[in-house]
Structure 1
């Protein structure tokens, strides 16, 4: 017995098909399919507190992450790690934190998730272009005729600087103590100081404007950069996805290209 297709049944089928189309499209978006690249990470506007020495590389990393995760925006707030820690303690609205030392991060255990070290760094002596004072090593910084600038002792790079100077039993009296590594670099670049101790990666951001004098490994200090989510985040899953992404090959290559060492 053959069935008859009535105009009414045909119209019903067309309506059902039309209703299914938007559902299928929505399902595709949730999976993040498409040529633009995406992931299952939820969309969000993320605020990441990050150490000053990460400024340049994280600006590039943020753009790469947003391209990979359409609908997500990453805003960075850069400062010395001690300033970032104070912001966290004061309840500043943020989703993730990356410091330039494990000590600062360890002091925030009650405020963060489990941290993961994403990179390491080393110190160099920054001098004016062409090294006009002919500084060759850490011992030269003890010359009272030199204007040396360091980061404040509560700043990770300032603490590392004093560690390496104390290790060599050198007494260096800085003409100023700055709030972060970029401020130290700026003083040298502007000629307001003859030398300063900064991270290798920071000196590399101003090629041709400052010289970087290598500090031998046995006299140097290694800075570790841990990243963690913040428990007060309103975007916990998206924050966790970003922190996890920082350890991916793509993000790690960007850090290596910027001069950071492997975790």
Structure 2
């Protein structure tokens, strides 16, 4: 082989080595880039998934709730706002039947908490609730009298005394329906001086001394403190009301509404409610 031929052969060998090295470096670089992308993508996806799983709640939650829930729900509303800065809970308390009618007629609300399954059915039958309402507490009746019980009311039958001015909730309202059920169980007939549209209105009549007694809930007697005196009666056991709660179909703030319902059903919520005199379901 001539010197020129040997020089040409060595040049080709080194060129081949160089190309191979470049290809190897290129492959490593490509592998590193691919590995880097693969590592970054799950991290981004994870961060995104975490944000979706725990969204920051904001805005107003509008709750339509039975009048007897006023004290305990007001407390839970404050608790919710502190736990979720940027949120506000507003309440519309009243007779469950009136609230249900408002919802079916398009009143904007996120949550409905009723004082009976019957009034909740007004909303569910109209398909204005999401899913199946959950019973979160129960409530029992009690007689509210003037402080010191000057008329010596001891039984449900005592309320039939013609000399007493007695107030009942309207029969369409859960507390009124429950009172009628208790009277029927005792075989008693009672003609009140007035029928009130919600339990707070009935209680107020006694607090203002416009009535001698009213059949209300134990929770309302407890909330009134020394403004009234409570008298238990055995027939109330035949007229205990379940309280269901539901997310509404057209809720303007559904995510925050779900979180409020979760608070009501939580151990913390249950403690507030039982502390107000409600019974566990």
Q: TM-score of the superposition, structure 2-length normalised?
A: 0.78
Deviates more, 1:215-224 or 1:146-155: 215-224
Q: Specify whether residues 217 and 171 from structure 1 end up closer, same or farther in structure 2 by C-alpha distance, changes over 3 A only.
A: closer
For residues 184 and 210 of structure 2, what CA distance do their matches in structure 1 show? Answer: 25
Q: Give the structure 2 partner of residue 72 of structure 1.
A: 87
List gaps (5 residues or longer) in structure 2: 1-46
Q: Determine whether 1:227 maps to 2:245.
A: yes
Residue 206 of structure 1 deviates from its aligned partner by: 1.4
Q: Is the 8 A contact 2:137 2:278 kept in 1?
A: yes
Q: Give the structure 2 partner of residue 36 of structure 1.
A: none
- Please give the root-mean-square deviation of Cα atoms over the aligned residues, in Å: 2.0
Q: Give the structure 1 partner of residue 234 of structure 2.
A: 216
Residue 93 of structure 1 deviates from its aligned partner by: 0.8
Q: Give the structure 2 partner of residue 45 of structure 1.
A: 60
For residues 123 and 181 of structure 1, what CA distance do their matches in structure 2 show? Answer: 11
Residue 239 of structure 1 deviates from its aligned partner by: 1.3
Q: Give the structure 2 partner of residue 200 of structure 1.
A: 218
For residues 56 and 262 of structure 2, what CA distance do their matches in structure 1 show? Answer: 11
Q: Per residue, is there more helix in 1 or in 2?
A: 2
**SS of the counterpart of 2:265?**
coil
Q: Is the 8 A contact 2:142 2:236 kept in 1?
A: no
Q: Give the structure 1 partner of residue 13 of structure 2.
A: none
Q: Is the 8 A contact 1:119 1:262 kept in 2?
A: yes
List gaps (5 residues or longer) in structure 1: 1-25, 33-38
For residues 219 and 147 of structure 1, what CA distance do their matches in structure 2 show? Answer: 24
Could you list the per-position Cα deviations for residues 17-63 of structure 1 after superposition, in whole angstroms to 9, with x for gaps in the alignment?
Answer: xxxxxxxxx98x9589xxxxxx6463221100000000111111100
For residues 30 and 148 of structure 1, what CA distance do their matches in structure 2 show? Answer: 57
Q: How does 1:68-147 map to 2 (within 5 A)?
A: 68-109=83-124, 110-113=127-130, 114-147=132-165
Q: Determine whether 1:154 maps to 2:172.
A: yes
The structure that has the greater radius of gyration is 2
For residues 244 and 219 of structure 1, what CA distance do their matches in structure 2 show? Answer: 29
Could you list the per-position Cα deviations for residues 212-244 of structure 1 after superposition, in whole angstroms to 9, with x for gaps in the alignment?
Answer: 001226754111110101101122222122112
4+ runs of 1 displaced by more than 6 Å?
none
Residue 142 of structure 1 deviates from its aligned partner by: 1.1
Q: Is the 8 A contact 1:167 1:219 kept in 2?
A: no
Q: Specify whether residues 143 and 217 from structure 1 end up closer, same or farther in structure 2 by C-alpha distance, changes over 3 A only.
A: closer
Could you list the per-position Cα deviations for residues 58-112 of structure 1 after superposition, in whole angstroms to 9, with x for gaps in the alignment?
Answer: 1111000111112211111101001101110110111110000011112211101
Q: How does 1:165-204 map to 2 (within 5 A)?
A: 165-204=183-222
Q: Is the 8 A contact 1:123 1:220 kept in 2?
A: no
Equivalent residues, number:
232
